[in-house]
Structure 1
Amino acid sequence: MSKPKLSDDEITKRGQELYENSIRPQVETPENIGKIISINVETGEYVIGDDLLVISMRLRTKQADAALWTERIGFNAVYAVGGTLVRTVE
């Protein structure tokens, strides 16, 4: 698998900006809360699903070196290890 051309910091910055400024209003619906979204930060294309690996691979079939940013819709993290996910949306 190819490595993205962008740094981790740039992927995070672009992913957060895309999500907050254009994607969030479309996807933060009751039926999507708790699902995972993976965003290609270079194209703005995204996929929503329940399995991080599956949705990421769907984006990578279109662009092998895609710079992907992921979030759990309506929560503060994708996964919680030894902690609790905090709901950011009511």
Structure 2
Amino acid sequence: MPVRQPRYSKEEFARRGDAIYESQVRSLVEVGNDGKIVAIDIETGAFELADDTMTATRQLYARLPDAQPWVVRIGHRAVHRFGARSLKPSS
């Protein structure tokens, strides 16, 4: 698998990814997909939904080999959790 080089700073990646998720993707994927992963190309807005990060990003790269993927876990503040405390917002 070729090494893909990021074209944006970490801050710009996050800004673009979050903006696309909130404005274009969230309403399409949120209902019924809590905990699933969505990989979003921060340049085109194309996205793939899967149960895990690797599957979602591989599916996105299959469609767009030059994608710049931003990954979101639906319904959670973070994709991965470190430590014992959950980051899921309490209801």
**TM-score, normalised by the number of residues in structure 1:** 0.85
- Which structure 2 segments of 5+ residues have no match? none
Q: Which has the higher contact order (CA 8 A, sep 6+)?
A: 1
Partner of 1:4: 6
Question: 1:1-90 alignment to 2 at 5 Å?
Answer: 1-29=3-31, 31-88=32-89
* 1:3–1:65 contact (8 Å) kept in structure 2: no
State the one-letter code of the partner of 2:4: S
Shift of 1:89: 8.1
* 1:33–1:74 contact (8 Å) kept in structure 2: yes
Shift of 1:61: 2.5
- Which structure 1 segments of 5+ residues have no match? none
Root mean square deviation, CA, Å: 1.7
* 2:81–2:87 contact (8 Å) kept in structure 1: no
Cα distance in 2, alignment partners of residues 89 and 36 from structure 1 = 20
User: Which stretch has the larger CA shift, 79-88 or 11-20?
Assistant: 79-88
Provide the identity percentage. Answer: 34
**TM-score, normalised by the number of residues in structure 2:** 0.84
Runs of 4+ with deviation above 6 angstroms: none
Cα distance in 1, alignment partners of residues 66 and 86 from structure 2 = 29
